[in-house]
Amino acid sequence: AKEHGKSRFKVFNQKMHDQALRLMALETDLRRAVDLREFEVAYQPIVCLDTRRVCGFEALVRWRHPEHGVILPGDFISLAEDTGLIYAIDNFVLVAACAQVKLWQTTFGHLMGELLTLNINISGKHFGQPMLLSQVTRALDDSGLNPQALNIEITESALMDNPAVAEEVLKQLKSLGAKVCIDDFGTGYSSLSYLQRFPIDVVKVDRSFIDGVEGNLDSQAIVRTVFSLGESLGLKIVAEGVETPAQLAFLENEGCRYVQGFLFYRPLSATEVDELLAGGSIG
Ligand code: C2E
Ligand code: CA
Ligand code: CA
Ligand code: CA
């Protein structure tokens, strides 16, 4: 038994060792990727249910690795956060997407009833860093994008980790004219009172609740509550991860006006969005 335990320990150790090596290799790769700008932005349309048309996009980063192909953010964001590379990655997406959406507005603006909006994800680690404000200011100035079109998405934990700092940063972002959006709403550790305390414009109901609305009464109750709360607080609510007609039917019945999910569109390349917009699917 003792021998067995020993060898298991060895295997475990070897595994940890391999994992550490892989992580180190990934970190080296990620540093190089930042230097060489190996990132691309995918744009997932947000659909306005009143018109059934695209009213904005969420920018989602992709890493085009020279050997491994496209790597999704789930496989490198946490490493980017641990290594501080996230500041450069978030900023790359911010700069690229502001310029891209400005171009779409200019090219297709005459077809639009509303201003085409852009949602950008800012890591909780990045949020609250003094550089964020100047990066956002710079991206807006350089692109000429109307600040009103920019939504900065942050999670509840980014707010709650340091509420006093968060409140200040939100105010500064708002003073630039940008909007603030709570991402993955309902999954974090927070109290509802912060919706009132912080100057928030948009709330995105997390996919896990949308997933449940087909059969799960708790999810239904939560989604309903968020919509009625949103209405009384004057918030814009976006349902994320809408995948089925049944989910859509439930949401429409609850007065939902904005949706994002595979039922409508997957994240698209800029070229695919060009085609979509040229086809007139915007509003
Ligand atoms: P998120 O901000 O919650 O973004 C939505 C994610 O859900 C995206 O995954 C999107 O492709 C996926 N999604 C959208 N609709 C559906 C659906 O109907 N069903 C399902 N199953 N999934 C759907 P993605 O692109 O892999 O991004 C994952 C996460 O990585 C994002 O979650 C966000 O937290 C983070 N992320 C992405 N881009 C950036 C970035 O530029 N900066 C930072 N800091 N984080 C980013
Ligand atoms: Ca997001
Ligand atoms: Ca989300
Ligand atoms: Ca998320």
161: tokens are 């980790």
Question: Largest Cα–Cα distance in the chain?
Answer: 76
- Please tell me the distance between residue 13's alpha carbon and the centre of ligand 1 in angstroms: 33
Ligand 1: atom nearest CA of 243 is: 18
CA dihedral 258, 260, 264, 266 (to 10 degrees): 160
Q: What integer pLDDT is reported at residue 7 of this predicted model?
A: 65
Q: What integer pLDDT is reported at residue 65 of this predicted model?
A: 94
Ligand 1: atom nearest CA of 60 is: 38
Amino acid identity for residue 164 in this structure: A
- Please tell me the distance between residue 101's alpha carbon and the centre of ligand 4 in angstroms: 22
Concatenated DSSP letters for 9-46? HHHHHHHHHHHHHHHHHHHHHHHHHHHHT-EEEEEEEE
Q: What integer pLDDT is reported at residue 112 of this predicted model?
A: 65
Residue of minimum CA distance from atom 25 in ligand 1: 60
pLDDT tens for residues 109-133? 766 667 899 999 999 999 989 999 9
CA gap 259, 227 in Å, rounded: 13
Q: What integer pLDDT is reported at residue 47 of this predicted model?
A: 96
Pocket of ligand 1 (CB under 6 A): 44, 60-61, 72-74, 77, 86, 90, 93, 121-123, 183-184, 207, 241-243, 260-262, 267
- Please tell me the distance between residue 181's alpha carbon and the centre of ligand 1 in angstroms: 14
96: tokens are 């690229």
**241 within 8 A of 220, measured Cβ to Cβ:** no
Phi, psi (deg, nearest 5) at residue 45: -65, 145
Cut 0.95: pTM above it: no
Ranges in the chain, pLDDT < 70: 1-12, 110-113, 190, 281-283
Closest CA to 185 of 224, 231, 240: 240
Residue 98 burial (CB count, 10 A): 25
